Amino acid sequence: MATQITSSDCVFYLGVVNVYNQPVLLSNYAADDIFDTENIAPGEFVMGADGYLTGGLTPVPTPMNIVLQADSPAIPVFDNWYLYQRQNKTLTWAFGTVTFPSLGKKFALDKGGLRGYKMIADAKKILQPVRFSIVWQNPQPAATTPASLSTPGGY
């Protein structure tokens, strides 16, 4: 059972086909914002005139936002991903894992597309965090064991 809900121990590995075939550890997240996923609507529902509800499962992508400090060593991962796509005039897909040791949970991420890319950090009193967005095809909970939590990644 989890005894804390800290996010400071989250581990996020991200790979990009033909750019980073071996996943890279993301680090140096923003102070108040690490990453988030948007709510999805996996079902469509309609109610007939007679009051009976029916519905069906509809596969939907899962958007995710990642926020890094302006000096994060992980920013070149997104820069190189963006540049590869521009130079080759094609999309290339990401994959990865996110582990929450404090909760004993791990998620496998597959077929992610770069949806939002911020090329330049905003310059204010100090350089501001940079936000990137990935749309995932089908994130899935992955099996976790104490051994897999101590060696995250799996790719």
Residue 15 and residue 3: Cα distance in Å, rounded? 31
3-state secondary structure of 16: strand
Question: What's the chain's Rg over C-alpha atoms?
Answer: 18
Summarize pLDDT for 31-56 with one digit per residue, the tens: 888 999 999 999 999 999 999 999 99
Only one residue has tokens 């996923």, namely 37
Query: What CATH code is assigned to 11-38+62-150?
Result: 2.30.110
Asked if 110 contacts 138 with a C-beta cutoff of 8 angstroms, the reply is yes
Asked if 94 contacts 117 with a C-beta cutoff of 8 angstroms, the reply is no
Residue 122 and residue 52: Cα distance in Å, rounded? 52
Residue 112 and residue 93: Cα distance in Å, rounded? 5
Residue 13 and residue 153: Cα distance in Å, rounded? 6
Asked if 13 contacts 26 with a C-beta cutoff of 8 angstroms, the reply is yes
Q: Beta partners for 105?
A: 100
pLDDT band at 103 (very low <50, low <70, confident <90, very high): confident
Asked if 134 contacts 64 with a C-beta cutoff of 8 angstroms, the reply is yes
pTM confidence score: 0.85
pLDDT band at 133 (very low <50, low <70, confident <90, very high): very high
Q: Look up residue 122 and give its two tokens.
A: 């905003």
What average pLDDT does the segment 56-83 reach?
A: 97
